Amino acid sequence: MKYMMLFAAALMIAPAVSADDVNVGDAPSDFVGTNLKGKGVKISDMKGKIIVVNFWNEDCKPCMDDMGQFNKLQRLNDADKVQVIAVNVGRDNKSFKRMKKWLKGAAFTLTRDKLNMARRRYAVKRFPSTYVINQEGKIVSIHTAPGRAEMAKIKTQVRQLLQS
């Protein structure tokens, strides 16, 4: 009952967002879930960094396959300049704990979007969905396909932003 009330409250305060509402050039939603310690993670706390926000869930095999590449992207880049955030969407406590264990030691920031608030604000319709945000806090690309070719585009874009 407690969670149903929280969910209803979140729906009332969360702005309605459709896929057409989030575009390249927009400022992203600030909230991207809660970290492993239960603290809210905000884009505004990473001002001046390139931020890669990846929405995923463990039922998405391509999402799981991409986790190693996101980890490599974070490890290859200074955390003061690039921050990768993997947002686990809407899973129960048991499965999230299992995913935390599986991803233990990951270099990127793992967050949980239990109530789908960040997912709605970013207008995520499929998994994986990845948003690259530049140092000025604007979305510079949106990727909705998994795999090596898409990861290569993301890595190239991060490299280009680091050089600008």
Residue type, 148: R
Higher per-residue pLDDT: 4 or 121: 121
CATH of the domain at 99: 3.40.30.10
Average pLDDT, the chain: 85
**Residue 5, in any domain of the structure:** no
Alpha helices in 81-147 (DSSP H): 93-102, 117-121
pLDDT of residue 20: 52
Of 18-27, 58-67, 90-99, 110-119, least confident by mean pLDDT is 90-99
- The answer as to whether 90 is a domain residue is yes
Among 24, 44, 47, CA closest to 131? 24
Provide the domain count of the chain: 1
Range of the domain at 59: 26-163
**How far, CA to CA in Å, does 71 sit from each of 36, 79, 83, 109, 160?**
16, 12, 11, 9, 19
**Residue 56 is assigned to a structural domain of this protein:** yes
Q: What is the pTM of this model?
A: 0.84
